[in-house]
Every structure is written in C-alpha cells, then in structure tokens.
Structure 1
Amino acid sequence: MAVPKKRTSISKKIIRKNFWKKRGYCTTLKAFSLAQSIFKGNSKSFFCNKYKR
C-alpha cells in the first residue's frame, strides 16, 4: 500500500531556496566581471575583435 511522504520543513525549504539563489548570484558576478574586463581590454582568457572607427 502507498504511504504518503513526510512533509519537508519550512526551514529546509528556505535553506535550499537560498542556496539556489546564491549560486545564481555568484554566476552573475562572474559574468559581470568578465564583461568588465573585456570592455576595458584587460581580459587574458577571452579574445575578441576590437573594431576601430
């Protein structure tokens, strides 16, 4: 016979949600940092063509 699962506590749910949000925030910071270094021309790991007008 099927038995219903126990309910996850609210605190565990909040901890998991915050961990998920923090991962996204760290990824955003890395992407923004890379964009800044490319814009300033200081990037050593990313190559892009510069167009001169």
Structure 2
Amino acid sequence: MAVPKKRISLSKKRIRKNIWKKKAYWAALKGFALGKSLSTGNSKSFFIQQISSK
C-alpha cells in the first residue's frame, strides 16, 4: 500500500531552491563574461580566426 511522504519544511525547501538558483546565477555570469570577452577580442582561452573584409 502506498504511503505518503513526509512534508519538507518550507525553510529547507527555500534553502535548497536558493542553492540551485545561486549555481544557475554563477553559470550565467561566467557565460556572459566569456561571451563578452570573445566579442571584444580580449579572450585568452579561445583563439578565433579573424576574417578581414576588404
């Protein structure tokens, strides 16, 4: 017979959710910084072949 699970308190739920959000925030920040450095040409970890138009 199925037994219902115990409820997780709201504070624990909020803490776990905030940890997840913080990880997503830092990942987005890193991605944005990488994109910005690539677009300005200041990247030191990627080598992009520049196409010169005449």
TM-score between both structures, scaled by the size of structure 2: 0.80
Structure 1 runs (4+) greater than 6 angstroms displaced: none
RMSD (Å), alpha carbons: 1.5
Cα distance, 1:35 vs. partner? 0.5
Gaps of 5+ in 1: none
Q: 2:12 — aligned with what?
A: 12
The answer for unaligned runs of 5 or more in structure 2 is: none
Q: Percent identity at matched positions?
A: 58
- TM-score with structure 1 setting the length: 0.81
Amino acid at match of 1:24: A
